[in-house]
Amino acid sequence: MKARIGGKIVVWLLLAALGFGAVAVLLASRPPETARVIANAPTLTAPDHGLRVFHLGHSLVGRDMPAMVTQLAHAAGFGAHRYESQLGWGTSLRAHWYPDAEIAGFERENDHAAFRPALEAVTSGDYDAIILTEMVELRDAIRWHDSPRYLSQWVEAARTARPDVRIYLYKTWHDLQHPEGWLDRLENDPVALWQQQVLAPTWANPDLGPVHVVPATQVLAELTRALRDGPGAEGLRQPADLFRRNADGSLDTIHLNDQGHYLIALTHVATLYHRPVLGLPHALLRADGMPADPPGAEAAALMQRIVDAVMRTTPNTGLPVEPPV
C-alpha cells in the first residue's frame, strides 16, 4: 500500500503549521455571489525552461492528460518538463488535505511512477508550478466540502514552502447532460462559481500571493460554440465526441476520451508555457505508454486554434489579454 506521506506525526505537525493558523480568517471569507471579485492574477513572464509540475485532483485530471502535457511540452522545446500527481475518484480539495482521509480509488489511481503524496509534494518546494482542482459537482464541493477554505490552505502550504511557485486552479466541467444545459453552465460557472465562490477568498488575501487559472471551462465553451455554428471536423462534430464510451456502448457524460484529454492537455501547455499550441503533434501516448486514439489532423488543428484564441482573450491565466476588437 502506498504511503501518503512519511510518518503521521510529521504530517499533523505540517498541517498545524501550514493550515490551521488561517482557519479563523478563512471561515468568514466567502463572498456573496453578487460581490465584485478583484483577481489576484497578474501577468506572468513566459518560462524559458521546462517546469516541474504537481497535479492534484481526480479523474478529470487523470493519468493520461498530464502525460500528454509532458509530451506536448517536450515537443514545444521544453524538454525538462516533468510532473508528479495525487489523484482520486471525485476527490475534493478537503479530502486530499488530510492524509488519513478515505479517498475513493486512491490505490488504483496512484499506482504509477509519477505518484507523490500531495502534502509532501506541495510543502517540498520542489515544484515550479502546482495545479489544483476541485471535485464536481462544484456546487456540492462549495456547499459541503468548503472549497474556498481548502483552496486557500493548499495555496498557503505551497507558498510557504516556495514563495515564487506558480499556482493554478484548473477549472473543469460538469455533466454533459446537465438539466441546466451544457453550454449555459460552461458560460456561467467560471465567474459565478469558480471566481466568486472558490477563488475570491484566496484572491482577497495578499499574503497568499497570485493564483491563476487553467481555463478548461472556457475552452470547452468556445469549442462547443464553434461546433454549434460551424461544420466541425471529422470525428469532432459535437461535444459528445470528446467523451468516452462505457463498456456497453453508452456515453460517459463526465469523463473524457483521448481526444478530450488532448484538448485539455493543449490548454495546460498554453497556460504553463505562454506559447501558441497550433502545430503541436496530435499523435501521443497514454500514461501507460500505449498509443492514444488521436484526433484527426483537421480536428487537432481546430482544437489548437480554439485554445490559442481562448488564451488570448481570457483573464487570470497569467498571459497578457488582448483588448476586445
- The pLDDT value given to residue 185: 97
Gap between the Cα atoms of 325 and 314, Å rounded: 14
**pLDDT > 70? residue 13:** no
Q: If you classify domain 47-312 with CATH, what class do you get? A: alpha beta
- The pLDDT value given to residue 255: 98
**Among 263, 256, 325, 259, CA closest to 296:** 259
Question: Look-up: residue for cell 482542482?
Answer: 133
pLDDT tens-digit map of 29-81? 333 333 478 999 999 999 999 999 999 999 999 999 999 999 999 999 999 99
**pLDDT > 50? residue 26:** no
> Among 17-31, 155-169, 182-196, 233-247, whose mean pLDDT is lowest?
17-31
> Among 22-31, 183-192, 237-246, whose mean pLDDT is lowest?
22-31
Average pLDDT of the chain is 91
Task: Determine if the pTM surpasses 0.85.
Answer: yes
**pLDDT > 50? residue 270:** yes
Domain coordinates of the chain in residue numbers? 47-312
- The pLDDT value given to residue 10: 36
Q: What is the mean predicted confidence (pLDDT) over 249-261? A: 98
**pLDDT > 60? residue 2:** no
- Detail the DSSP E strand segments found in 11-123: 52-56, 82-86
Q: Which three cell numbers stand for residue 11?
A: 504530517
